[in-house]
Chain A
């Protein structure tokens, strides 16, 4: 399967995308040695981790609409970039202050924080403040999703992750796409209600930023 086909499969989303990621991961695995070990002198284990990060990042970029002409070249560049990050991390001790980053906060990989920066509309914040707010907002949504009934949550997560209705029907055993549409709509409604309730109760500290934003927009 060539670069264009793999790219198209990732853009398609759903199970096609999962298959493409597996294929890409296997096809370019030689970059672990070529870039990570021979070029950057990482250990094989470190290089394998760096390579996994690069594949995840590539998937994220393509899903976000980035045009990629040659997957191999792109993956080479990403592996190199993340390898350099790993080398830097090795030499400079981490600057995370434990008190400002409670343990429950999701630890976002660096590339993901960078990617989220681009979708954050609150540009005037300090960078660290923005990252912390993003992490809290993601954690809030995650908590609310986890509080939903498991089947409804699984359905909503699959839909928001890019599965189309035909696949949703297969995956969740619905009779037809009409039922799938209705179930997805109900699940979204549940999420909206959960956010409203969380904002009214004010019990979840992680939801404050999201609630404030939605209050400004008259939703909660």
Chain B
């Protein structure tokens, strides 16, 4: 595998080469058809990926549009009504402006009062996160990562496989030693999951600072480990007595589809 050649092609199609490098590379393509073909392949792949991402992004934006619309629709419809009223009565005898606007303003006021009342009565005064001792909440909610239901392909790294086995059996010391070895390997592909296991082991033994450091190192692209890490971060804050940080983290989890959404909502008293 020629890394320099492959990366050069990538830089070329991304437009990152200087004018001279670009000219030289195009000359090389003219003399080597295989190189030209490879460039075409990667270019096609790039367009395909970008097109696919555009379609996915469009679906997300459509969802977000509907979400935003839900919050603005009542206001826009109210404005529609108000503007209709104003425009339709232009031909009729002129009435004072306050009469023309009285209905929409009254409706808006009623809605505001209703929303304020709802916010007050539906508050989270009795939420466990506020009412209970953080340590006892941690004890109630902490469970080790359920490895039997975790997505992930079987791995050839036997140390890692043994570490998972030890972890499942609650033998964190032995699991940690093997996980450190696995993570030290730059080509190790299960790094996010390994970091999660290390982080939860440290949390269990009470080393919250180190646990938080490892949990925060898990990248969002590793979706399942990342969502678990968000949850255990909240628990680590609870264990460290940092109630406000735990609450902020739990709100983040509770507001979107998430592996731990139900538990986060329960802690926030939103059930």
Contacts and interface: CB of A to CB of B under 8 A. Distances in A.
Interface string A147-175: 00111001011111110000000111111
Contacts of B48: 137-138, 141-142, 145
B123 interface: no
A126 interface: no
B50 interface: yes
A157 to B, nearest CB: 5
A45 interface: yes
Contacts of A151: 189
B51 A56 contact: no
Interface residues of B, number: 53
Contact of B41 (A22, A65, A195): A195
Contact of B51 (A52, A108, A188): A108
Contact of A56 (B61, B191, B192, B220): B61
Contact of A217 (B6, B40, B55, B62): B40
Contacts of A150: 153
Interface stretch (B68-76, B130-138, B162-170, B239-247): B68-76
Interface stretch (A1-9, A69-77, A91-99, A177-185): A177-185
A149 B65 contact: no
A49 B191 CA distance: 39
A53 B58 contact: yes
Contact of B219 (A25, A45, A157, A172): A172
Interface stretch (B31-39, B100-108, B142-150, B259-267): B31-39
Given A45-B69, A63-B50, A137-B44, A214 B37 contact: yes
B199 to A, nearest CB: 13
A55 B54 contact: no
A118 to B, nearest CB: 10
A185 B55 contact: no
A123 to B, nearest CB: 16
Interface in B100-121: none
In this complex, the member of A21, A56, A162 whose beta carbon has the largest number of chain B beta carbons within 10 angstroms is A56
A200 to B, nearest CB: 15
A213 B65 CA distance: 40
Nearest to B66: A48
Contacts of A55: 61
Interface string A25-50: 11001001100010000001100110
Interface string B164-200: 0000000000000000000000110101100100000
A210 B48 CA distance: 12
A192 B10 contact: no
Given A45-B66, A181-B7, A214 B40 contact: yes
A28 to B, nearest CB: 11
Contacts of B85: none
Contacts of B9: 188
In this complex, the member of A142, A151, A181 whose beta carbon has the largest number of chain B beta carbons within 10 angstroms is A151
A138 B47 CA distance: 8
B46 interface: yes
A52 B65 contact: yes
Contact of A173 (B50, B62, B195): B195
Interface string A198-219: 0000000000001001100111
A31 to B, nearest CB: 11
A156 B186 CA distance: 18
In this complex, the member of B9, B34, B48 whose beta carbon has the largest number of chain A beta carbons within 10 angstroms is B48
Given A44-B69, A44-B76, A179-B186, A173 B192 contact: yes
25 contacts: A45-B69, A56-B54, A56-B61, A59-B57, A65-B15, A109-B58, A112-B54, A141-B44, A142-B48, A145-B48, A145-B49, A157-B49, A160-B45, A161-B50, A161-B53, A162-B50, A172-B221, A173-B217, A184-B7, A185-B1, A186-B1, A189-B6, A192-B38, A217-B40, A218-B34
5 closest A-B pairs by CB: A219-B37, A217-B37, A141-B48, A52-B61, A48-B65
Given A158-B221, A214-B37, 7 more contacts: A29-B68, A60-B54, A63-B50, A157-B53, A161-B50, A181-B3, A192-B41
